[in-house]
Amino acid sequence: MPRYTIKLHPDSEQGGYWVTVPALPGCFSQGDTLEAAIAYAREAIAGHIACLKEMGEPVPEEPDEGEHTQALVIDVAA
């Protein structure tokens, strides 16, 4: 099963989160909660890949960096 990194961006105007998939340019999603945003991202990725295959385009793969990494934004008192 392929794995893709997603980026969850808080939507300060509407609430919820919007999602980008760096390895799949043009693949976006959104959700009212983190859980919904992640679930919709899975659907968006699957649909995006299906469209690429249907058009005969190559399906980009996530770069293999060994262990799967996670990114978090933290506040730091400086």
Give the pLDDT confidence score for residue 77 in this predicted structure.
Answer: 79
Say if residues 59 and 47 touch (Cβ distance below 8 Å). Answer: no
**Residues paired with residue 9 on neighbouring β-strands, in sequence order:** 18
The secondary structure of residue 70, as a DSSP letter, is -
Give the pLDDT confidence score for residue 65 in this predicted structure.
Answer: 63
Q: Which domains does the chain have, with CATH numbers?
A: 1-78 (3.30.160.250)
pLDDT, one tens digit for every residue, the chain (78 residues): 788 889 999 998 999 999 999 999 999 999 999 999 999 999 999 999 999 999 999 999 887 665 666 666 666 777
Antiparallel, parallel or unpaired: β 7-10 and 17-20: antiparallel
Say if residues 9 and 18 touch (Cβ distance below 8 Å). Answer: yes
Give the pLDDT confidence score for residue 38 in this predicted structure.
Answer: 93
Token pair listed for 22: 């760096």
